[in-house]
Every structure is written in C-alpha cells, then in structure tokens.
Structure 1
Amino acid sequence: MAKTKTPQQVKDDFRAKGVKLKDWAKENKYPVAEVYKVLNGERKGHYGRAHKIAVALGLKSA
C-alpha cells in the first residue's frame, strides 16, 4: 500500500518539479477549481470526482 501525502507535501512536490497545479489538472482532465478545493480541504474527497482527484494527487489510497 502506497503511503499517502499531506496537502503540503503535494504542493511541495509540484513546486520542486516546476509543475503548475493548473497544468496538472488540465493534463488529467480535472476541473482546475476542484483540484484546488481538494488540495485546500474544501472538498474532502470522500466520493465522486473529488475522491478520484485526491487519489490521483496521492492524498488518499484507492
């Protein structure tokens, strides 16, 4: 089972790689605003698209 990351770790990883969250969201076909909401805790990612985003970001295990 893969270890999950904290939102800050995800942000730090993107920053270290020089990747913008906006670009990642578009590449993965997720709404940019929803990616930010999941990462900032506004959407918990318990189910639906928010859950898929959280898993893709490494915030949750599948």
Structure 2
Amino acid sequence: MHATRTPAQAKAWIESQGKTVKEFAEANDLDLHTTYQVLAGTKKGKRGEAHKAAVLLGIKEGTVAQ
C-alpha cells in the first residue's frame, strides 16, 4: 500500500510536475470542475467521476475502471 495524499499535497504534486490542474484533468479524461472539487475537499471521491479523480490524484486508494 502507498500513502495517500491530502488534497493540498495532491495539488502541490501536480504543480511539481509543471502541470496545471486543467492539464492534469485533460490528460486523465477527468471533468475539470469535479477535479477542482476533489482538490478543494468539497467532494470526497466516494463514487463516479469524483472517485476516479481522487484515486488518480492519490487522495484515496482504489482502482479506476479503464
């Protein structure tokens, strides 16, 4: 198991790669607004698009159906 990130750590991780949140969302086929909501903590990533975003951001452990 790997350690999960906080939303703030996830945002810093995106920035450390030289990407914007928009670029991350587009590269991972995510809805931009949902990605921002997960990063802000207003969506917890329990299901659907928010779950996918949270897993890809490393905020929660889980799998994403391809």
Does structure 1 residue 43 correspond to structure 2 residue 43?
yes
Q: Secondary structure of 2:45's partner? A: coil
Please give the root-mean-square deviation of Cα atoms over the aligned residues, in Å: 0.9
TM-score (norm 2): 0.86
Structure 2 residue runs without a partner (length 5+): none
Question: Percent identity between the aligned chains?
Answer: 40
Q: Once superposed, which parts of structure 1, at least 4 consecutive aligned residues long, lie more than 6 Å away?
A: none
TM-score (norm 1): 0.90
The number of residue pairs the alignment matches comes to 62
Structure 1 residue runs without a partner (length 5+): none
Give the structure 1 partner of residue 14 of structure 2.
14
Letter in 2 for 1:59: I
